[in-house]
Amino acid sequence: MSGGAQIIDAVVTRLATITAAGGYHTDAGATVVRNARALPEETTAPPFIVVTPVSDGPLSYSHSGARLLSTLSINIEGYVDGQGAWGESLADLLHDIRRAMAPVVTPPLGGLAQKMELGVALFDPPDDGGILAMLTAPLTIIHISILEQ
């Protein structure tokens, strides 16, 4: 399994810890899917989280060419009920995502990442009559890939 795939698995695992029983504000971790196309929207009750890889590009190669320093960009989308106090619900979910993704050890994600940064989250209110409000938080991860010769 590639380094990028391992990192995505680690991100999904971390986000899946978001439960009220675990001390978080929401239970969004009960449903974490890997990309929006896998989302059965009509059967998924909010809150839930979608993790979508956006890009994985090289930064630099080692002198031998065996190691590649890369930047993996992932969008973390959080969805809440669009009825009622959706703004507060999105703020609670963003707090949960930040807490779950906070590196508790260095390097983050169990050593898979060299550096990790959760960017500025954007809130998207529900459409008129819409049932979901969402946030998008970009996650940027610098990681090293070992290239097979």
Q: Helices 86-101 and 3-15, interaxial angle, to 10°?
A: 130
Beta strand 122-124 with 132-146: parallel, antiparallel or unpaired?
antiparallel
User: pLDDT for 90-128, tens place per residue?
Assistant: 999 999 999 999 866 566 766 777 888 999 999 999 987
pTM: 0.85
